[in-house]
Structure 1
Amino acid sequence: MAKNSMRKHQRSSSSQNNKGSGSIRIISGLWRGRKLPVHDAEGLRPTTDRVKETLFNWIASDIPNARCLDLFAGSGGLGFEAASRQAEEVTLIELNVKAFQQLQQNMQAVKATNITLLNQNSLNFLKQPGKPYDIVFIDPPFRQGLLLEAIEQLENNGWLSDQALIYIETEKELAMPALPDNWTMHREKVAGQVRFQLFIRE
C-alpha cells in the first residue's frame, strides 16, 4: 500500500467503534443517511461519526457554496459530507488505486455533480500553483511526517482563500509543527487517540 494513500485515520464511519468498518454514513444534507462502502485496506480507519459530527457542527454555516479540498481522502467521508451539504465544489485526492476506485463508485451511486476525484499523491498535488479553497481537510497517515509539508505547500502555493478554514486530524500524541503566523486556532478537541483542530487563515 502506498505510503501517502491510506490516511491512517480514514474518514467517517457508521459507528464510533469503526475498526473494520465497511462503510461510511452521510450525516446530513442531500444524501442524509446514505451508507457508502469503504475499501477494506490495512490502515484505513474512517473518522468516527462523533468526530465528524462535531467538526460539521463547527463549520456547517460555511459549507454551502464553498470550495473544499479533501487531502489524503481515503474513505472520502469528510469530502462526501461536505458535498452532501451543498458545497459548490469538493476535490478529493487519494493515491491508493483501490480506494480511489471505491470513491468513484460512491460518487456514481449518489449521482454527485460537485465532486472531483484525483488519483495522485496529495503532496505532489500541492506542489503546483493552486487555486484558493475555502475549506481544507488534512488527515494524513499517522506517523509518516506528512503534515508539515502539506501545511507549507497549502500556504505557499496559493491553495487557501483569505479566510480559509483548515481542519487537521492527527494522532493525539503528535507535537504540532510550526504553523503559519496567519493561522489562528479556532477549535480543538481530543476523542480517544485522535486530536482534531480547526484553524482560520487570517
Structure 2
Amino acid sequence: MRVVAGIYGSRRLKAVPGENTRPTTDKIKESVFNMLGGYFEGGVCLDFYGGSGAMAIEAVSRGMDQAIITEMYRPAIQTIEANIAQLEAEDNFIILKGNNRQSLNKYLVKNASIRFDLIILDPPYAKAAIVDDIEWLEQHALIANHARIICETDHHFDLPMEIRQLKQVKQKIYGQTKITIYERG
C-alpha cells in the first residue's frame, strides 16, 4: 500500500494488522481521487472510519490542508499514527480515538466552526450506516456547501440517489467494492 500521488506520492504505508479492516487498494484509491478531479486547493477532510489512514493521507498529499481521522480500533489507531509519523506530517492530521460520532462531538466543543470539504465514509461493510452518518453530519452542520462525500461499500449495497440535500453524482464498481460520490444538489 502506498500514497498514489501528490507531495507524499510513492511513499509506502502500513496496513492494519489482522483481518478486522479492509484496506482500499491503490488502484481504487487512484480511481476515486481521479473521479474527484485529482487534486485539491486546500480544505478540511474527514475520514470517519480511518482504518490505516490511507485515504486521508492521500487527500492531504493531493492538497487538502488538514485531515481529521476518527477510529476506535486500537491497532488501526497505531497504524494511522505510524503512517503519519513516517511522513513527518503530524501538523496536518488530527486523530480522534473512540466512537466516531462521540469523539467528533468532543472535538467540536473547541472547534465549533469547522465544516468538511471532503468526507470519506468507508465503514465495515457489515455495519454500513452511511445514510445515518450523512444525516448525522448534515444535522450537525458539518458538511460544507461545496463538499464532496466519498462512500465505499460492498458492490451489492445500494445507496439512495439523494440523502437530504445531497445528490449522488458518480458511482463506479471495482470488483467487490462500490464507490459512490455525493455533492450538494
Q: How high is the TM-score relative to the length of structure 1?
A: 0.81
Equivalent of 1:192 in 175, 179, 185: 175
1:124 to 74, 81, 102: 102
Say yes or no: does 1:201 pair with 2:184.
yes
Alignment length, in residue pairs?
179
- Structure 1 window deviating more from structure 2 (128-137 vs 29-38): it is 128-137
Q: Determine what percentage of the aligned residue pairs are the same residue.
A: 28
Determine the C-alpha separation between the residues in 2 that align with 1:125 and 1:201. 25
CA displacement 1:69-111 (0-9 Å, x = unmatched): 0011101111000111121111111111121012112111111
User: For residues 143 and 183 of structure 1, what CA distance do their matches in structure 2 show?
Assistant: 24
- Which 10-residue stretch deviates more, 131-140 or 57-66? 57-66
Q: Does 1:109 align with 2:92?
A: no
Deviation per residue, 1:142-168 (Å, 9 max, x gap)? 122422321111111111001110111
Paired residue type of 2:102: N
Gaps of 5+ in 2: none
User: Does the 8 Å CA contact 2:96/2:103 hold for their aligned counterparts?
Assistant: no
If the length of structure 2 is used for normalisation, what is the TM-score?
0.88
Is the helix fraction higher in 1 or 2?
2
Residue 171 of structure 1 corresponds to 154
Partner of 1:135: 118
**What corresponds to 1:64 in structure 2?**
41
Q: Aligned Cα RMSD in Å?
A: 1.9
Q: Choose the corresponding residue for 2:135, options 134, 152, 168.
A: 152
> After the TM superposition, which segments of 4 or more aligned residues of structure 1 sit over 3 Å from their partners?
125-130
Query: Quick check: 1:91 aligned with 2:74?
Result: no
Of residues 178-187 and 24-33 in structure 1, the stretch that sits farther from structure 2 once superposed is: 178-187
Question: Does structure 1 retain, via aligned residues, the 8 Å contact 2:145–2:184?
Answer: yes
Contact 1:126/1:154 (8 A) holds in 2: no
Q: What is the CA–CA distance in structure 1 between the aligned matches of 2:178 and 2:124, rounded to whole Å?
A: 13
Q: Does 1:42 align with 2:10?
A: no
Between the aligned partners of 2:44 and 2:68, the Cα distance in structure 1 is: 8
Gaps of 5+ in 1: 1-23
Looking at structure 1, the residues matched to 38 and 175 of structure 2 have their Cα atoms a distance apart, in angstroms, of: 27
Aligned partners of 2:3, 2:39: CA distance in 1, in Å?
18
Paired letter, 1:135: L
